[in-house]
Amino acid sequence: MADPAAEERLAASAGGSRLSGNRILLWSAVVIGVLLAAAVVFSFTRDTTLDAGTPEGVVQRYLSAMIDGRRGAARAYLSDRLQRECAIETPHRLRDGSYRIEWIETTVEGSTAYVDVRITEEWPLAPDYPEYRMFVLANEEGEAGGGNWRITRQDWPWYECSEDHLDTEAG
């Protein structure tokens, strides 16, 4: 016959083993959940810095300087003509708040680049309405592979500060 005390000890150790296995599964699920949540937060909050030598990188730095209120730094990304002829003030007052700027597309044709972006001012009490804007840049050395890209046309947020606008005013 079997010893009842031995059977009781065997049953207790088997129950403890099941409980230990459940704890491992529970902690594994918690760790995986935390890692997954961190990955989601990281993927939606990180800012990508584009290469400063590309047209889209120039536009990113220009808009960042404008939004931060560093107008002098923003002017450095404009063509020499725009730096000379555009007033530093802008009729569009950038408000303190959040902006979401999304790069849509860049097209390079010789020494001219067209950068399309979507700019959304995030308003706390109103819906966000994105504005689609195109920036035109020229390469100072005339080749897409070298030189510095400088903005020759932009219509946000420095309205009327574009070479084509200045040409129509002069004519």
- For the stretch 63-84, pLDDT in tens is 888 888 888 898 899 999 988 8
**Three-class secondary structure of residue 23 per DSSP:** helix
Among residues of the chain, what percentage have pLDDT more than 70?
A: 67
Asked whether the predicted pLDDT for residue 12 surpasses 90, the reply is no
For residues 23 and 98, give the distance between their C-alpha atoms in angstroms, rounded to a whole number: 44
Question: b/e for 49-61, b at 16 or more Cβ within 10 A?
Answer: eeeeebbbbbbbb
| Contact present, 67 and 47 (Cβ < 8 Å) | no
- The alpha carbon dihedral of 52, 85, 137, 68 has a sign of positive
Average pLDDT of 25-48? 66
For residues 3 and 10, give the distance between their C-alpha atoms in angstroms, rounded to a whole number: 11
For residue 62, what pLDDT is reported?
92
Element (H, E) at 115: strand 112-122
CA nearest to 110, candidates 59, 61, 55: 55
Asked whether the predicted pLDDT for residue 49 surpasses 90, the reply is no
110: tokens are: 């010789």
Asked whether the predicted pLDDT for residue 60 surpasses 90, the reply is yes
- For the stretch 104-156, pLDDT in tens is 999 999 999 999 999 887 776 666 778 888 899 999 775 555 569 999 998 77
Asked whether the predicted pLDDT for residue 90 surpasses 60, the reply is no
Identify the burial level of 12 via C-beta atoms within 10 angstroms of its C-beta, where 0-12 means exposed, 13-18 middle and 19 or more buried.
exposed
